[in-house]
Structure 1
Amino acid sequence: MPQPLPRDSEQNADTGAIKLLLVVSVALVTFVAFEALAVASAMPTVSHELGGEQLYALAYGITLASQVATTPPAGRWCDAGGTRLALITGVATFIVGLVIAGAAPEMWVLVIGRAVQGIGGALVIVPLYVLVGTVVPARRRPGFFAAFSAAWVVPSLVGPVLAGFLAEHASWRWVFLGIAAVALPALFLVLGVLARIGRSDDLPNPDDVPAAPAGGSRGVVWFAIGAGVGAALLQSTGAEPGERGGVTLTDAIAIALALVALAVCVPGLLPRGALRLRPKVPALITGRALLNGSFIGVEVFLVLMLQRQHDWSPMAAGLVLTTGSLSWGAASVVAARVRTETARARLPWIGTALLALGILLVMPSAWPSVPAWLTIVGWVFGGGGIGLAMSASSVLALGWTPRARQGEVSAHLQIADALGAAVLVALTGLAVAVVPLGSSGELPYLAALGIGFVLSVVAATASYRSQGEPAAEEATPMTGPAPSSGL
């Protein structure tokens, strides 16, 4: 890894270069966040216009799967060759993915573009974190990370509604091409800030790194690639309701291969004891993966349900996601005000219980005859629940971990978020694809909501168990293969 800025030289750091790095970093995170959050409200329109209803789940979830597969290799690249080339490649790849998706003549081309976006997004976020850790003085790093978090706020509030507006009144293609148009100048800003950092005598060169160690993180890299491929393969069996009459032989083979890949690779990406819900960090991270997966897996089909079952416009359906984002933000503020560890340790399971309640409240809206406003009420609870749980789980996981291993646990948290979402989108997509429509088309949506509810209850159980006595070892090192049992 590049060496951080020495403490005694922080006062002489190039303030102008650091400010420019902050501006460019926030812009890049905002672009990635917008695409991650906005596309849900436009995807039903996209699949309808491109005739790609059978690829609905894959088109949404492939970005998550490719992020899972790319994040550890991106970290290894930064360790081995510095951040400069990785970051430039990431921004360029992200833009290329946006252009491919925005110009897609068919759904399978859009899927390719979305996959490229996910690869680019991972190659943007990982180098940015490395840059902050190696170039930015320690006293300024909290401000950078706070800005990164804030960069998700505006896209979460505006993105779904704006994407719905574009899909409804202009073209869904601008959801992708519009971001590409504003991200392209950012690529030149990235080149400028990296050049300025490289010329500065007061800042360490982010590419001045030793050769990568011979062993290290190769095991987790292959586990991540395998899990990402498995999640994408499972997503490929999903579709919009009524588009598949059942599970074909090809589907069955794909499902079997995907489940084998996930069963082999997922344990290598989680802390030791995570699947057995061992108290403290292992159980907490399992709960977090299921929590984020349940929320995203339900949300992606929530928009589809409102548009197909209740004839809501893309923009109106996007407002429901914005409502969830508002309650998420408000709950995060509440969680931040909790001072004692005992009270904070209760928030993850209370939050996941609120998410489960929210999903239950949404379920009746699967019937067209039931007022759709129940969805808004339910998603206020759902967003509030994940806001309480996610904020508290990050603080607890790091607080329960020795300082020397906090980087390892941070990586576990990031991978768990992406992995949980990628797998749960695949599972809910499969359920929606194969379950019969029912009398009024409600059964596929009830199946997806039911999966989200059951797994959110499991997430609450895992979070509750995290309050127990700590195990002898709280986490499996990221550098090296996981135990053979994965448990």
Structure 2
Amino acid sequence: MTKQTRAIVVVAMMLGMFLAALDTTIVGTAMPSIVGKLGGITLYSWVFSAYLLTSTTTVPIYGKLADLYGRKPLYIFGSLLFLVGSVACGSAQTMEQLIIFRAIQGLGAGAVVPLVLTIIGDIFTLEERARVQGLFSGVWGLSSIVGPALGGLIVDHFSWHWVFFINLPFGLISVLLVVIALKENVERKKHHLDYIGTLTLTGSIVALLFALLQGGTTWAWNSLPSLGLFAAAIALLALFLYTELKAAEPILPLSLFNSRIISLSSVGGLILGVAMFGVTTYVPLFVQGVQGGSATNAGITLGPMLLAWPVAATFSGKLIIRYGYRFTSLLGTTLTAIGVIMTMFFTKETSLTFIVVAMILTGAGMGFASVVYTLAVQNSVPWNLRGVATASTQFVRTIGGTIGVAVMGTILNAQMAALFAPIFSRFASVAQRLPHDIAPANVLLTPELRATLPAAFLNQLELALSQALFWVYALIVALALAAVVTVFFLPGGRAEKYTYKEEGAEIGEEPISEPLAHLG
């Protein structure tokens, strides 16, 4: 591949990454306006849940198919399906239609990010990839900052429909450039698709995510629906693992995890996902609920983290080449741990400077660590397993974040229920004047109501929420410290020592139970 052709592919992949990242942030800004037009406030969460379910469950499937049939056709298919879903979302007339179309959009989105990372892994050497990964992290960070602002501008000056239609130019240009520039040599042979593995994995994830997303809200955690869904998730997972051990061409080769590098990178990615989703979800809640900041203030608070991430990712590649996986990931996980430890000291009087420093350290740490986990996995496998290996790291990170946020939500709700009840009892006369359709936890997040509350009542509620959030942050800290410990099990030395050798059957330093070249 010539330098010019490779540059075109890079531009196409950056557009694809920008497209996926932008969609995750821009829709949230527009949702209040969309609900105002279409109604259906009770279905609000399902606009996000439907997208999350389909985009998460399809990641490992796309990764495996990309190994079997090539990255190009799968990337084109996923991108076009995403665009079809985007047009349908922009044309929705009811909330029910929007939810269905968001699910279609998610089916396409499951291909975009993992295949972008996989294609970059294909066309660059380890040294080149280490530099380029920082560029793509920068695209993600920029999209995360631009998305909310752009969503607000579109809703205020145009129409919410354009929040979805804006995907079209980016997506079509990306697909066109891939069609023109990306050339692949895929071995043509008959494949045995792992249908049972695909169905059991998908079913297990759907049951798990459905239980986590609806548990504690639609029904109680100990209710029959919750228990039934968790039981179904476990049973289907067990069947999936059994199937993968027997399948000729498994959708997720379990022998991949015989590699210390891949298994530890997966654990690290899972913890990273929990920390990332936890911080981005619950730090804004602190700023609004405890300190009385606006939604804009809460969003700005995350800005330093989202900027520090791509900056650190850019330097991470150079450190990996020079010092190896262990040193770079130790630096990343240590910075993340320090940053999240600082969140445990957040109080109503905490200065903006302290919060910003905590976010910078957390973002920088995640930037250093995330690049390590992606490069280490890609460097450890041959071409015919790079797609499923890369997809597995993205899959684990997303699942980790989803499960983590659900567990944190459970902790927060339990703490608030215990702490808020006595306060409302002491201020019974004030509580009776509150609107009946607003939950106690939402009182602190409604500026109009906050302004009418007596200072003593408001201060006690803020203190209670701060105490409840402390235990959420404590969980994030415990996981961050666990991530630091796992780093010491990564192999030391320069990264190039652990590059997969085609003539052998090794991944990094450790042999796999079957020759990798025959697993694809």
Return the match for 1:355 from 327, 330, 336: 336
The answer for unaligned runs of 5 or more in structure 1 is 1-9, 198-202, 482-487
CA deviation after TM superposition for structure 1 residue 394, in Å: 3.3
Contact 2:304–2:356 (8 Å) recurs in 1: yes
Shift in CA distance, 245/186, structure 1 to aligned 2, threshold 3 Å: closer
Q: SS at the partner of 1:466?
A: coil
8 Å contact kept, 1:42–1:314: no
Residue 78 of structure 2 corresponds to 90
**Structure 1 CA distance, aligned partners of 2:147 and 2:263?**
38
- CA distance change for structure 1 residues 48 and 282 in 2, over 3 Å: closer, same or farther? farther
Instruction: Give distance in 1, aligned partners of 2:130 and 2:163.
Output: 23
**Structure 2: gaps of 5 or more residues:** 245-251, 421-460, 494-507
Alignment of 1:452-471 (within 5 A): 452-467=476-491
Instruction: State how 1:98-117 maps to structure 2 within 5 Å.
Output: 98=86, 112-117=100-105
Equivalent position amino acid for 2:404 in 1: L
Q: Provide closer, same or farther for how the CA distance between residues 234 and 246 of structure 1 changes in structure 2, counting only shifts above 3 A.
A: closer
Q: Deviations over 1:22-59 (max 9, x none)?
A: 44433222111212355567779989997758965x65
The residue type equivalent to 1:67 in the other structure is S
- Equivalent residue for 2:192? 214
For the pair 1:68 / 2:53, whether they are aligned, the reply is no
Structure 1 position 163 matched with structure 2 position 148: yes
Per the alignment, residue 180 of structure 1 pairs with 164
Q: Which amino acid aligns with 2:62?
A: A
Q: What amino acid does structure 2 have at the position aligned with 1:185?
A: P
Task: Point out the more displaced range, 308-317 or 109-118.
Answer: 109-118
Q: Which moved more, 1:243-252 or 1:448-457?
A: 243-252
Secondary structure of the structure 1 residue equivalent to 2:58: helix
Q: 2:271 matched to 1:293? A: no
Number of the residue aligned with 1:389: 369
Q: Deviations over 1:81-128 (max 9, x none)?
A: 666764454234323444566677887766545443332112334565
| Partners of 1:172 and 1:239 in 2: CA distance | 34
Matched residues in 2 for 1:479 and 1:43: separation? 47
Report if the CA contact (8 A) 2:305-2:363 is conserved: yes
Q: Secondary structure at the match of 2:285?
A: helix
Assess, with a 3 A threshold, how the Cα gap between structure 1 residues 204 and 408 changes in structure 2: closer, same or farther: closer
C-alpha distance after superposition, 1:339-363 (max 9, x if no partner) = 6766641332342233233222223
Partner Cα distance (2:87, 2:75) in 1:
19
Q: Which has the larger radius of gyration?
A: 2
Deviation at 1:163, TM superposition (A): 0.7
Paired with 1:175 and 1:259, the residues of 2 have a C-alpha distance of 44
How far apart in 2 are the matches of 1:340 and 1:194?
A: 29
What is the CA–CA distance in structure 2 between the aligned matches of 1:247 and 1:315, rounded to whole Å? Answer: 37
Q: Aligned AA for 1:355? A: T
Q: 1:436 aligned to 409, 413, 416, which one?
A: 416
- The one-letter amino acid paired with 2:135 is A
1:303·1:318 contact (CA, 8 Å) conserved in 2? Answer: yes
- Tell me the residue number matched to 2:21: 33
Measure the CA separation in 2 of the matches of 1:289 and 1:213.
31
| Deviations, residues 415-463 of structure 1 (Å, cap 9, x unaligned) | 3333323332333344444543424234553443333222222222222
Cα shift readout 1:211-233 (whole Å, capped 9, x = no counterpart): 55125x55653454235314421
Tell me the C-alpha RMSD between the 2 structures: 4.8
Partner of 1:316: 297
Identical columns (%): 18
Distance in structure 2 (CA, Å) of the matches to 1:115 and 1:20: 30
Structure 2 distance, partners of 1:245, 1:457, is: 31
Quick check: 1:306–1:372 contact (8 Å CA) kept in 2?
A: no
Q: Deviations over 1:391-424 (max 9, x none)?
A: 2333444555678865554343333333323332
CA 1:39–1:389 in 2, change beyond 3 Å: closer, same or farther? farther
Query: Which is further off, 372-381 or 71-80?
Result: 71-80
Match of 1:228 among 182, 205, 226: 205
Do 2:316 and 2:371's aligned partners in 1 also have CA atoms closer than 8 Å? yes
| Contact kept? 1:309, 1:368, Cα under 8 Å | yes
Contact in 2 for aligned 1:328/1:387 (Cα 8 Å): yes
Letter in 1 for 2:472: A
Conserved 8 A contact 2:85-2:104:
yes
Q: CA deviation at 1:292?
A: 2.4
Q: 1:385: Cα distance to partner? A: 1.3
Aligned residues: 452
Q: Once structures 1 and 2 are overlaid, which stretch shifts more, 429-438 or 78-87?
A: 78-87
**How far has the Cα of 1:326 moved from its partner?**
1.8
Distance in 2 between the 1:476 and 1:427 partners?
A: 37
TM-score relative to the length of structure 1: 0.71
Amino acid at match of 1:384: A
Q: How does 1:234-383 map to 2 (within 5 A)?
A: 234-237=211-214, 248-258=223-233, 261=236, 279-338=260-319, 344-365=325-346, 368=348, 370-371=350-351, 374-383=354-363
Q: Which amino acid aligns with 2:290?
A: Q
